[in-house]
Amino acid sequence: MQHSQVTSELIAQLLNIPKFGKGIGLHRMHYFLNQQPIFPWISQVDAIKVTGSNGKGSVCNIVAAILQEAGLRVGLYTSPHLFCFNERIRINSINISNHELQVVGEWILKTIDKYEQCYPEDKCGAFEAFTAMALHYFATCQVDAVVTEAGIGGRFDSTRMIPGSTTAITSLDLEHTEILGSTLELIAHDKAELCPSGGTLVVGAIDSEVLRKLEVYCALRKVNLLSIKNCCTFSKPRYLDNQSVFDFEYRDLNWKDIHLKLLGSHQVNNATVAIVLAEHWLRLKQPNLSNSELESIVRCALTKVSVSGRLQKVWEQPEIYVDLGHSPDAMKQLVDSVQQLWNSEPVLLVTGVSYNKDIQGILKGLASIPNRAICTRAWHKGSQTNIIANCLADLCPELPIDIADTIEQAVIMAKDLAIRYQMKVLVAGGLFLSAEFIQALQGEDPRTIQFL
């Protein structure tokens, strides 16, 4: 999307808001939610809220697609963006327009200024501001349903302030440990706080011992916990026409050969969480919805849903796939999916990791995939290529490794080597790497992307 200069300047201002506000920001979200037009509209909202270490963006997109297929006007708020800020705020799969973004952006900047004049020692954080912007837009457009992706955790996350009794934890990994806690148990309990007492929490495939303890915590808080491990049966995917095909059973639902327009076992897990979430919410709103109607809605939605950068095919000849996962657990899920999807076909890996991420853990996760590798770096926060190459060489001493000093060079080199050696290309290791590679692949300047 091309931005006007005015919009680009506004986005620069928004991205210049500190990533984290001062202390716990729930009181600031309370202030934003009491501003027009969010108030009094927010009192009618029963949002579906999703947290988790990996997969929450995919789950949000799938849930939104199901609700849209059910005939609802759905506001979807996710993060981060890949190419443009507008991706974060959508209604029925359409990004907020530049004009509408200008309106809500100017509103939040004025509102923050007003707040900080009243409380000069307090400072607003970026995610709080972006969440309020999304709610302003949804309130103005009077959407029928709201689906939101949490930022970090759940206990102190901005989205916790949005009314909504249907929530999910998609997965757990050791992430943001300085905020959420140093164990999976602590992280799980923090994320579970996104669900209010009396609500329903759908939990993806997490460690059995952590789940056992989480069940007790949810019972104490009078939260109804639905674990897809315990209440669902779903098959590993088969692959047909670049889609995942799987079977699904839940309560009195028994569906065969569901086609999902997302690749990988992890996406089947995400789809299962999303189906249970959407089913629960729709039954509350439409109690007369029949099983056959629900099945038709879900089947149709899953063949249409698209999530940028999740093992996404972005080029045909040679075949180039991009995955924006950027944690060791995400890499493990990616490897499992690639091994099933491509069997023993040769793979050229294009990789690079941000300097503030677990370089060793991410590359160790990827090490079993490639027959050849190109090490490069994103313009935004990319680690030096020699660090990446040396680490990968230590993990895979026999692996042929090439170095591309820039993303643009990596694109040219990947195309050349993939055609020469008849290989598929997988770009993986970081979100910024993946977004910039796609931008360069399309002949555009990757340095123009405005990341947070």
What is the full DSSP assignment across 143-187? Answer: -SEEEEE-SS-SSS-GGGGS--SEEEE----S-SHHHH-SSHHHH
CA–CA separation, 131 and 133 (whole Å): 5
Strands 232-234 and 166-169: unpaired
Q: To the nearest whole number, what is the mean pLDDT of the chain?
A: 94
CA–CA separation, 274 and 258 (whole Å): 14
Express each pLDDT in 400-448 by its tens digit. 999 999 999 999 999 999 999 999 999 999 899 999 999 999 999 999 9
CA–CA separation, 315 and 419 (whole Å): 12
Residues 6+ apart with CB under 8 A from 38: 32, 132, 135, 136, 139
Cα pseudo-dihedral 219, 222, 228, 232, rounded to 10: 100
Yes or no: say if 7 and 101 are a contact pair by the CB < 8 Å rule.
yes
- Which pLDDT score, from 0 to 100, does residue 3 have? 62
- Rounded to 5°, the CA angle 401-403-408 comes to 130
Round the CA-based radius of gyration of the chain to a whole number and report it. Answer: 22
Exposed/middle/buried for residue 19 (C-beta within 10 Å: 0-12, 13-18, 19+): exposed
Please check the confidence at residue 26 and state whether its pLDDT lies above 80: yes
Yes or no: say if 247 and 255 are a contact pair by the CB < 8 Å rule.
yes
Yes or no: say if 162 and 47 are a contact pair by the CB < 8 Å rule.
yes
* Strand, coil or helix: 382: strand
CA–CA separation, 275 and 223 (whole Å): 19
Average pLDDT over residues 365-372: 92
Assigned superfamily of 312-448:
Mur ligase, C-terminal domain (3.90.190.20)
Long-range contacts of 434-438 (CB under 8 A, 24+ apart): 434/82, 434/309, 434/322, 434/323, 434/324, 435/82, 435/83, 435/309, 435/324, 436/378, 436/379, 436/380, 436/407, 437/322, 437/350, 437/407, 437/410, 437/411, 438/82, 438/83, 438/309, 438/314, 438/322
| Domain 5-304: CATH class, spelled out | alpha beta
Express each pLDDT in 117-169 by its tens digit. 999 999 999 999 999 999 999 999 999 999 999 999 899 999 999 999 999 99
Residue identified by tokens 């049966």 is: 233
User: For residue 75, what are its two tokens?
Assistant: 């506001």
Average pLDDT over residues 220-229: 97
Confidence class of residue 173 from pLDDT cuts 50, 70 and 90? Answer: confident
User: For residue 229, what are its two tokens?
Assistant: 């491990």
Express each pLDDT in 195-213 by its tens digit. 999 999 999 999 999 999 9
Yes or no: say if 263 and 337 are a contact pair by the CB < 8 Å rule.
yes
CA–CA separation, 363 and 388 (whole Å): 8
* Strand, coil or helix: 193: coil
Measured between alpha carbons, how far is residue 53 from residues 223, 311, 342, 429 in Å? 21, 17, 26, 16
Which of 51, 45, 364 is closest to 188 using CA atoms?
51
Which residue blocks in 265-327 are alpha helix, DSSP H?
265-285, 291-304
- Which pLDDT score, from 0 to 100, does residue 178 have? 78
- Which pLDDT score, from 0 to 100, does residue 170 have? 96
CA–CA separation, 204 and 201 (whole Å): 10
Domains of the chain, by residue range, sit at: 5-304, 312-448
What percent of the chain clears pLDDT 90, i.e. is strictly above it?
Answer: 85
- Which pLDDT score, from 0 to 100, does residue 1 have? 46
User: For residue 118, what are its two tokens?
Assistant: 């009243």
